[in-house]
Chain A
Amino acid sequence: MTDGTRAGRASRAALATVIPLRAPERPDRHEHAARPSLRVVPVGLRRRRTAVATILAMAVMFSVMLGLAAFQTIIAQGQARLDRLTTDVGTAQAANKTLRYDVAELEAPARIVATARERLGMVVPDTVAYLAPTGDAALETAAAAVPAAGSEAPASEASASDEWTKLKPYVVSAR
């Protein structure tokens, strides 16, 4: 590599001495004067088309960019609205739970009893009077009622309530 480089440098130096440097050619003033005058060249159809296409492309690009910007704005607005709605939903759900608690608290027996006593002057009766049906009503009610002791008892509260529903009209009418 060293020998080759040296040889190259030597040959290039020799060439520089043998071949004179030539200055770049310069236009001749006389030759320039002989040329015809410049004239306006009519714009060609091809150039016009190119210009129109360029303008159209720019317009489309501008529109797309504008559209993207608008789209981005809409997305941003939508996101902000979504965030706000999410917050609102959370707030509403929290309020719902609090209100539900308030209702449960207002319905609590202790509060109702206290209100009935203190504000309405109500008292709990010492005894509850039951009016037993008589005559045909008693027979009808008894027939529709209960089996003998030891037989299977009703399995649910509903059956007892149903029975009371049958009995109740007679009790009411007996008053």
Chain B
Amino acid sequence: MFGLDQKDTKFLWIVVALTLLTPFILNPFPAESAMAQFNAGYPALMQRFAIYGILAIGFNLLFGLTGYLSFGHAAFLGIGSYAAVWMFKLVSMNVIPAILLAMVLSGLFALVIGYISLRRSGIYFSILTLAFAQMSYNLAYSVFTPITNGETGLQLSLSDPRILDAENTSGSLPVPNLWINMNASWDLHLGPWTFTLNAGYYLCAVIAIIAFYLSMRIFRSPFGLMLRAIKSNQTRMAYTGLNTKPYTLAVFVISGMYAGLAGGLLAAMDPLAGAERMQWTASGEVVLMTILGGAGTLMGPVLGAGFIKYCENIFSKINEGILHDWFSFLPDPIENVVVWIGARFVGDGWQLTLGVLFMLIVIFLPGGLVEGGKRIAKRWSKKTDTTTTPAE
């Protein structure tokens, strides 16, 4: 179905089901229970899962398939956000024109940046993209303040024209909508559980599914095969008389548009845009998500994005008091030591956890979570197989 073989169709359906049921899956604990703080099923976080999932899928198309490590992807995210907010300010609070402009604009930027950067490969490509991203970041803070509103960030205001919308007489800032407001939520009470179904999340989820489907098609297409060939041996491709540039440029632009789409959605969920989204540490985060999940795999980047955003949220919430509660079964001196060490990694220390995680993954599990899962599955099947197949 949809131009996929049977196995992929099944895979796609699983992804669709998981995405649509996310509000239920991520809320395994009853709302009043002590474990409720580990629930991730609230709209703001779920939206971020979907949006950063899209970003990581797009990044993975470039890095996973061609091996070109871009360190400037956050720039497209930022450009997308700015474009979307401007559409909200000038044209309409409907999200569709905003997202379209975000994609088109970031695609154009990707075309220019990619055209120049892709003349080099390897570390030079990384540095060129980094240079472009830093340039956009610095300019957004300085010369382009009329467009970007500098450090304050670009926000909606009551005096915005919004030529397509009816005049806003409510006296409060309008909310992005797609006929229904993006922050409209519906609480579903089932026994002790509460599930929040949010319009914004479902918009992001549907777009994320489409994005995932497209990336699947690209992975399975001759175009995707060509990109993988470029990754494994670019020189040989050149010797066989093939110009690799159009292929890499095409995937760079696609990847940039994915990032722009993610930026546009971020703005649609919360209509403000700041330059810090373009900083190179933000680019590093995208790289981490992809690596953590598993670069070059379909599902990996999404898992990585979800994992990081979940940890970021949960780890930042935990504080020393909660840790004391957890480890209260230990003898006091040990408890204090454990809590002291633990406290360095939670709350403010989330960045430290991120750094350590980054290192551990790159050192021990270069293939990311997906590879880890495969290894475990392999070991598992080996254990069960030993009875049937003789040792080699």
- Whether chain B is bound by chain A comes out as no
Q: Which positions in A face B, CB cutoff 8 Å?
A: none
